[in-house]
Amino acid sequence: MTDVLIEAGRLTEAGQPFVLVLFCGLIPWMTFSETLSSAAASITGRAYLVKKIMFPLEILPFTHLVAALFTHGVLLVILAITYVLMLFSEPILRVLGKNGAAIAIRVMGMVLAAFSVELLVNAFGLLPEHGQ
């Protein structure tokens, strides 16, 4: 695990953190991919709207585009916050000290573990949904 974190924190040749460079390319690709796949499925999946009433087809893919832009806009805000925190990481570490940094790393690890458990539980449907 330590090797993964060291690799993620390394700098590119331009001096930027690798994780930030990776996500600057990954976020637009995820937006494009999600929009394209869901927009195509929305037209074929809602053929009843097109056949029954006069309905402009352009609205269906546009709604998926707006939803994807909102979701990935939040990711861009998180990316910007991460960039600012990385810019000021040395002063933050000086304020926290060695013990404070160790505590922060362990707390963030526990938060990440909790998120991963929640994702696995939701993916496998191990808990009943609310309202059942």
List the chain pLDDT tens, one digit each, 132 residues: 445 545 555 666 666 777 787 888 888 888 888 888 887 777 777 777 667 667 677 777 788 888 888 888 888 898 888 888 888 888 888 898 889 888 988 998 898 899 888 888 888 877 776 554
Q: Which of 91, 116, 89, 119 is nearest to 105 (CA)?
A: 89
Rounded Cα gap, residues 132 and 123, in angstroms? 18
pTM over 0.75: no
Q: Where are the chain's structural domains?
A: 2-87, 96-132
Instruction: Give the Å distances, CA to CA, from 82 to 42, 62, 79, 103.
Output: 34, 30, 5, 19
